[in-house]
Amino acid sequence: MLTDIIKEDLNVLFCGINPGLKSASDGHHFSGRSNRFWKVLHQAGFTPYQIEAINDIDILDFEFGLTTAVARATSRADQLSKEEFDDSIEIFKRKIKKFKPKYIAFLGKAAYKAFSGKKQITWGLQSEDFCGAKVWILPNPSGLNRGFTLSDLVTSYSELRKTIA
């Protein structure tokens, strides 16, 4: 089980699709060896140092938080069913309404596609809010996502950081 790292009025709530098996086992977000989230977050300027997954709660010190769209852990996000996203949307909406982040940064398009019902989604800032939060779509930092190099990820994440600065 992976626990949300969240508090009210965060600048950005980063939303992964679902926990990887290692993260769920460890109880720490983005703890898989090949996951590039913590490295990208630091290199894009969100944190002054690279947080280690075991210290994931430290992200709150910088007014950022972590959650997932679907709670069930899998080795690959494509193992989730449409029904699992459908079953998760109301829980997710309640979370956003309760904690009121300024931005939700979805890591990858899958969860936002499922939650918004949109077929076509672009990277970056979306035109509509989600439960009062601005929505930003970032590439997934998973090591399985080789469509984006580390440099590509840092560039994409830096755009969000510059927007919220």
- pLDDT in the model for residue 135: 97
pLDDT in tens, 152-165: 999 999 999 999 98
Cβ pair 116, 130 in contact under 8 A: yes
**pLDDT of res. 138:** 97
Helix (H), strand (E), coil (C) string for 93-134 = HHHHHHHCCCEEEEECCHHHHHHHCCCCCCCEECCCCECCEE
Q: What is the pLDDT of residues 49-75, one digit of tens each?
A: 999 999 999 999 999 999 998 887 787
Token readout for 94 is 């309640």
Amino acid 98 reads K
Cα 88 to Cα 77: distance, rounded to the nearest angstrom: 14
Give me the pLDDT at residue 75, please: 73
Task: Give the pTM.
Answer: 0.92
HSE-up of residue 30 (Cα within 13 Å, Cβ side) = 28
What pLDDT shows up at residue 60? Answer: 98
The pLDDT value recorded for residue 51 is 97
Q: Which residues of the chain have pLDDT under 50?
A: none
User: According to the model, what pLDDT value does residue 131 have?
Assistant: 96
